[in-house]
Amino acid sequence: MNKTISDIAQMAGVAKSTVSRFLNGGSVSEDTRQKIEHIIKQYNYVPNTFAQSLKAKKTSIIGTVVPRLDSYATSQTLIGIDEELRGLQYQMLIANTSQDMQREIDAIYDFARQKVSGIILLAAEITDAHLKAIEDIQIPVLLVGQQHELLHSLIHNDEQAGYLMGEYVVEQGHREIVYLGVSEKDQAVGIHRKQGFKQAIDECSDCTVRYYETSFKMSEAVITAAEILEKNRPSLIVAATDNIAMGVMKTASFQKISIPQQLSVAGFGGYDITEMIHPTLTTVKYHYLQAGKLAANHISKLVKGESVSQHTVMDVELILRESVDKI
Amino acid sequence: MNKTISDIAQMAGVAKSTVSRFLNGGSVSEDTRQKIEHIIKQYNYVPNTFAQSLKAKKTSIIGTVVPRLDSYATSQTLIGIDEELRGLQYQMLIANTSQDMQREIDAIYDFARQKVSGIILLAAEITDAHLKAIEDIQIPVLLVGQQHELLHSLIHNDEQAGYLMGEYVVEQGHREIVYLGVSEKDQAVGIHRKQGFKQAIDECSDCTVRYYETSFKMSEAVITAAEILEKNRPSLIVAATDNIAMGVMKTASFQKISIPQQLSVAGFGGYDITEMIHPTLTTVKYHYLQAGKLAANHISKLVKGESVSQHTVMDVELILRESVDKI
DNA sequence: CTGAAAGCGCTTACAG
DNA sequence: CTGAAAGCGCTTACAG
């Protein structure tokens, strides 16, 4: 049977409140401190979290809502959040929504019920239902990966990413370009990343670029890429994510189109695997791990009521590798 | 301000206990049922989880301890657990230990403090400290991915996996073989998988196989593979995981050794990505998602006190692809 | 079916 | 510095 604070108090010959004070860093005489400490150690006493939370009406838990678990971006971000939170004495609770928007909303309310101190939200799209939930719960929320004017958010510089890539490929002499993007519902990837790219291409007078759309799944990218390559033969395909880029490479290798000699390919993300494949993939690196750590810091500040800049933008980094040829 | 059960009771004109009974499915008259239901709906009342747990002394949370978040096996297993648990009305709590054994132990005790109903443990090695913790907490624990005589466990058939692979490569005519494994501290991968392979090879009289060891990291596998290929030139390298296999492929492509013409490569795991790379990787598929679902089912049974077979073994499946040549 | 009361294990003013 | 008491929001016998 687990000991309670009363047991400890009794055995130490003091009042419960004294033990509680000791536990919470209040002042106790050296003498009682020793007595209590001894008993606690002896019985391996640990306070009951529920009783604590019931009184204190809060916890040291940060809830994190993620759209999926099997993505490099998500897992790296989670690792960053978790590591940093540990140092800040918070626990991380993960709610996976499998890209189901209703589950996102539910998860927010669930977290509120559990009295988490703050919520980190990784979501592709913020709807009115999200905003309502966030307002309802009265708990600090930090949005990661997307920007929203009404919310504290932490994003990667998608426009910059797109621009850097666009600038580079033009510089390498590419003129017949395909950009294989994703739905504009995902503002960060679907709109901003593409915008940045477009902007760079627009500065090149004799460039043509065709825009296509696919999903985040590599398997679908393979199919879309096949359809594209059937119709045209660009010198370069820029994919909105490394995952999609790998799908394109797959299709190319299947069709015996050699990369980068016959077709250049580039992506976004900077996944570890892109360095291991052949040829290595030119990409824009996103600092997910760092983003996670920063997110943890921000949410902890928000919880404490400290101010945090409404929008934080993380720099990205162009990584030159083998998959883009100079022509 | 959140309403409490007293508020609801008062507004409905009944006693707290009646509301509680209603909430917990006890019998109430049609009349009071309606009154209570109405008020609850109106004020959007949700019971305070802490107060509930404080009394009931348990929660509907299953804790899952994972060694890392950025692994295909882990994320797939987690997804399976999460999905299944949702249907069973449990919540999943994840503790990531970053392969730090002490954190594993701590996580077990932490979960106990939080009164989780059960714990699913993904761990590479079970030490006495693990066993002590598990005994201390008096909460059902299910071990996944490793077998231990004292614990309920759910494993993949590593011996079978090794054997299937060994049998196949011998059949394909390979005689000069390298097996690139991992530390025996990880019993499942380091010992059983290798054993199964060895067993198949032993049945081949003119086969020679050299055993090497590396870590689970692709980047280290690249280095180990380079060292191996410097010394010998086997016709085939079988890697203990797909990740390691991809490291080998990387080294090969770097050294302009073509796969499978000059060197065959195979792995274990069946990661999605192995189907997308070039050449596609011959591997043994592990059913991680299903394992996760089964784990969720088992732990929920253990929590209810229902019996579950002590050891469950999941079948694996040899997947023939392009990376192994017939010679 | 319904209600009053006790209690889960803490924390928090308030006296002393 | 220390302790008695009230209370956090529930649930659970126990009467009625």
Q: Is the domain of A275 the same as that of A174?
A: yes
Residues of the domain holding A236: 158-286
Assign residue B24 the CATH number of its domain: 1.10.260.40
Q: Is the domain of B210 the same as that of B194?
A: yes
* Residue of B231, B252, B143, B228 whose CA lies nearest to B187: B143
Give me the CA A304–C1' D1 separation in Å, rounded. 30
Smallest CA–CA distance, residue B204 to chain A, in Å, is 34
Task: Give Cα separations from A149 to A153, A307, B211, B299 (angstroms).
Answer: 8, 16, 58, 43
Q: Is the domain of A146 the same as that of A293?
A: yes
Tell me the pLDDT of chain A (327 aa) as tens digits: 578 898 888 888 898 889 988 888 778 888 888 888 888 888 888 888 888 888 877 788 999 999 999 899 999 999 999 999 999 989 898 999 999 999 999 999 888 888 899 999 999 899 999 999 999 888 999 999 999 999 999 999 999 999 999 999 999 999 999 999 999 999 999 999 999 999 999 999 999 999 999 999 999 999 999 999 998 899 999 999 999 999 999 999 889 999 999 999 999 999 988 988 889 999 999 999 999 999 999 999 999 889 999 999 999 999 999 999 998
Q: Is the domain of B165 the same as that of B151?
A: no
| Residue-level pLDDT at A62 | 94
Dist CA A324 CA A319 (whole Å)? 11
Cβ atoms A99, A93 nearer than 8 A: no
Q: Is the domain of B150 the same as that of B292?
A: yes
CB-based contact, B79 to chain A, within 8 Å: yes
Does A77 map to a domain?
yes
DSSP at A242: H
Contact residues on chain A for B46, CB-CB shorter than 8 A = 113
Q: Out of B49, B98, B113, name the one closest to residue A113 (CB).
A: B49
The chain-wide mean pLDDT, for chain B, equals: 93
Q: Is the domain of A146 the same as that of A216?
A: no
Residue of chain B whose alpha carbon sits nearest to that of A95: B92
Grade residue B77 by pLDDT with cuts at 50, 70 and 90. Answer: very high
Does A52 map to a domain?
no
Does A183 map to a domain?
yes
- Beta-carbon separation of B98 and A79 below 8 A: yes
Assign residue B201 the CATH number of its domain: 3.40.50.2300
Grade residue B184 by pLDDT with cuts at 50, 70 and 90. Answer: very high
pLDDT of B91 higher than 70? yes
Does B56 map to a domain?
no
Determine which of A164-168, B26-30, B251-255 has the lowest per-residue pLDDT on average.
Answer: B26-30
- Beta-carbon separation of B70 and A82 below 8 A: no
Nucleotide C3: closest residue by CA–C1': B15
Nucleotide D7: closest residue by CA–C1': A55
User: Which nucleotides of chain D does any protein CB come within 7 A of?
Assistant: 1-13
Does A322 map to a domain?
no
Dist CA A217 CA B129 (whole Å)? 42
Q: Is the domain of A115 the same as that of A180?
A: no
Q: Is the domain of B225 the same as that of B305?
A: no
* Residue of A271, A80, A220, A250 whose CA lies nearest to B274: A250
Give me the CA B30–C1' C8 separation in Å, rounded. 31
Dist CA A316 CA B9 (whole Å)? 56
| Residue-level pLDDT at A51 | 87
Q: Out of B50, B109, B272, name the one closest to residue A50 (CB).
A: B50
Cβ atoms B68, B74 nearer than 8 A: yes
Q: Is the domain of A229 the same as that of A172?
A: yes
pLDDT of B270 higher than 70? yes
Does A219 map to a domain?
yes
Nucleotide C2: closest residue by CA–C1': B18
Q: Is the domain of A71 the same as that of A175?
A: no
Does A324 map to a domain?
no
- Under DSSP, is residue A62 helix (H, G, I), strand (E, B) or coil? strand
Q: Is the domain of B38 the same as that of B81?
A: no
Grade residue B30 by pLDDT with cuts at 50, 70 and 90. Answer: confident
Does B111 map to a domain?
yes
| Residue-level pLDDT at B1 | 55
Residue of chain B whose alpha carbon sits nearest to that of A243: B273
Q: Is the domain of A173 the same as that of A236?
A: yes
The B residues from 89 to 148 touching A (CB cutoff 8 Å) are 91-94, 96, 98, 109-110, 113-115
Nucleotide C5: closest residue by CA–C1': B17
Number of folded domains that form chain A: 3
Residues 6+ apart with CB under 8 A from B224: B180, B212, B213, B214, B247
